[in-house]
Chains A and B, each alone.
Chain A
Amino acid sequence: MTEKLPGWKEIPIAGVPFKSSLEYKTGDWRVFKPVIDDNKCIKCLMCNIYCPDMSINVKWDETKSKPLGVYVNYDYCKGCGICAEICPVKAITMVVEER
């Protein structure tokens, strides 16, 4: 991320967070990124359940009852690899992040 960060005179003291955690994008911690192969995915949603950062989201159909697939929110995904580990059909591979 290339946003300009504020200086020490501009932020509140004591290390208290001054913005919502939604604005704190942890995606730049990532070394490996998960890539999902939609052809292999059986839509079991195990990755969605196990993701510690709620970074694997589900695409639902119009009735919101049937999953169409999953996708990664790379703004917050730290690249821990739990999704790839838990996937029963090895539909998720971890590839080196290129910036």
Chain B
Amino acid sequence: MLKEEMKLPAEQIDMLLNGDEATAWAVYHVEPEVVAAFPITPQTIIVERFSEFVAEGLVKTEFISVESEHSALSACVGAAAAGARAFTATAANGLQLMNEILYIASSLRLPIVMAIANRAVSGPINIHCDHTDAMNVRDAGWIMLFCEDAQEVYDSVIQAFKIAEDPRVLLPVMVNFDGFLISHTAQKVKVFKDPKVVRENFLGGPRKVVKIELMNQETELSLNPKNPVPVTFGPLDLYDYYFEHKRQQLEAMQNAHEVIKEVHEEYAKLSGRRYGDGVTVPYLLDDAEIAVVVMGSAAGTMRYVIDEMREEGIRIGLLRIRSFRPFPYADIAKYLKNVKVVGVFDRAQDQGMMGGPLFLETRAALYDLDPRPKVVNYVFGLGGRDAPPELFREAFNELVEIWKGTMRPFIKKYIGVRE
């Protein structure tokens, strides 16, 4: 909890960090009890830097070098079930290898935090950015935040621990940021001068394990041998109780929507930085006739293009989705209720789908609006394909044409690919 007498925002220093290093610094300031990770480009720098912090004795974290991502997350599951704060990081194929354990972590209600430097999934083998890796695991029951730059990565990783550990939530959190575009691009990042501000003031000390009632006795929900009643994690759960446990989990995910906003607000007081309301980040939407929706670093490029078009008198705005899970469907409908045309930009594959995942859910969120806006999909940037302002300008011009009625709306287009 923030102390009354504390000077806000707390003192910070400027550092030159890329997104991976910003993650490592955030984890250093949180100082989880356990970090288990396996290196995979473009995430590697996170654990490299963090292992240096461990070697230098700056943190007391137990650093576990494992033999695979499946083991990395399994180690975190064990640590978190024992009541520890646990962190891991991965990308692309590593995340796919974790898939089985992702569901276990969320269903056991373990507040693990994981950083993902989003990368295309093989094959063909590609190490560069797109969101397909995260989209493949979007239904695993993890809260998913998407960041726009390295500063937001530092801030989000710290917030993620508090969101995950909230008793109303108790779900793992994935902090996503674009591989290479954010992970390997250095920028000025403000970090707290005193790590205690994060560890003590913001997170309130070590993780507080929630209490539950078992056999008419209060006990910790953890594998603590001192528990008055022993707790078993992960037993068989069949047709008579599985659905009830899933229902609890679904409720927790819905609760996360407000908790993300609350934690973001509290952190904003501490840091002086805001990302919309923590769930969505609107830009020039108040009077907009045309809106674009996107996640990740492309939002910055888009704002540049939008500023240009605004100067030409075109009423266009942007809605960046920061929390993809839980998906803020009601907020999206609220922000976009007055626009006539919406372009949704997916940096992910849409194999056999009507459109990209962001498009499908955004379009569904707007279905009940009256009048209903036209919603079209653009798939861009697969495998790290460059997405310069000109690419978006061309697409935005099409949205203007649709708005004017001089172009027929379509379902989806692939942009930046050679015909």
Q: A interface vs B, CB < 8 Å?
A: 5-8, 11-20
Contact = CB atoms under 8 A, between A and B. Distances in A.
Given A8-B244, A20-B215, A13 B234 contact: no
Contacts of B240: 5
B247 A8 contact: yes
A15 B108 contact: yes
A18 B248 contact: no
A6 B213 CA distance: 14
A18 B232 CA distance: 9
B221 A12 contact: yes
A14 B221 contact: yes
Interface centre among B215, B234, B241 (most CB of A within 10 A): B241
Contacts of A13: 109, 170, 212, 221, 245, 248-249, 252
Nearest to B249: A13
Interface of B: 107-110, 170, 212-215, 221, 231-235, 237, 240-245, 247-249, 251-252
Contacts of A5: 240-241
Contacts of A15: 107-108, 233-235, 237, 241-242, 245
Given A16-B231, A19-B215, A11 B241 contact: yes
A18 B212 CA distance: 9
Contacts of B234: 15
Contacts of B232: 16-17
A20 B229 CA distance: 11
A76 to B, nearest CB: 14
Interface centre among A5, A13, A18 (most CB of B within 10 A): A13
B109 A7 contact: no
A14 B241 contact: no
B248 A17 contact: no
A18 B240 CA distance: 14
23 contacts: A7-B244, A11-B245, A11-B248, A12-B213, A13-B109, A13-B170, A13-B212, A13-B245, A14-B107, A14-B109, A15-B107, A15-B108, A15-B234, A15-B235, A15-B237, A15-B242, A16-B212, A16-B221, A17-B235, A18-B212, A18-B213, A18-B215, A19-B215
7 A-B pairs with the lowest CB-CB distances in the bound complex, closest first: A8-B244, A14-B109, A8-B247, A12-B212, A15-B245, A15-B237, A13-B248
Nearest to B109: A14
B221 to A, nearest CB: 6
Contacts of A12: 212-214, 221
Given A8-B248, A15-B107, A15-B235, 4 more contacts: A7-B244, A8-B243, A11-B248, A14-B245
Contacts of B170: 13-14
Contacts of A6: 244
A18 B214 contact: yes
A80 to B, nearest CB: 16
B191 to A, nearest CB: 34
A77 to B, nearest CB: 17
A7 B245 CA distance: 10
B233 A14 contact: yes
Contacts of B109: 13-14
A14 B108 contact: yes
Contacts of A19: 215
Contacts of A11: 241, 244-245, 248
A8 to B, nearest CB: 4
A5 to B, nearest CB: 6
A11 B245 CA distance: 8
A15 B221 CA distance: 11
A22 to B, nearest CB: 11
Contacts of A17: 232, 235
A75 to B, nearest CB: 15
Nearest to B81: A14
Contacts of B235: 15-17
Contacts of B248: 8, 11, 13
Contacts of B247: 8
A99 B343 CA distance: 59
A13 B219 CA distance: 13
A8 B237 CA distance: 13
Interface centre among A5, A8, A15 (most CB of B within 10 A): A15
Contacts of B251: 8
A50 B128 CA distance: 56
A44 to B, nearest CB: 32
A16 B241 contact: no
A25 B348 CA distance: 48
A96 B213 CA distance: 40
A37 to B, nearest CB: 33
Nearest to B247: A8
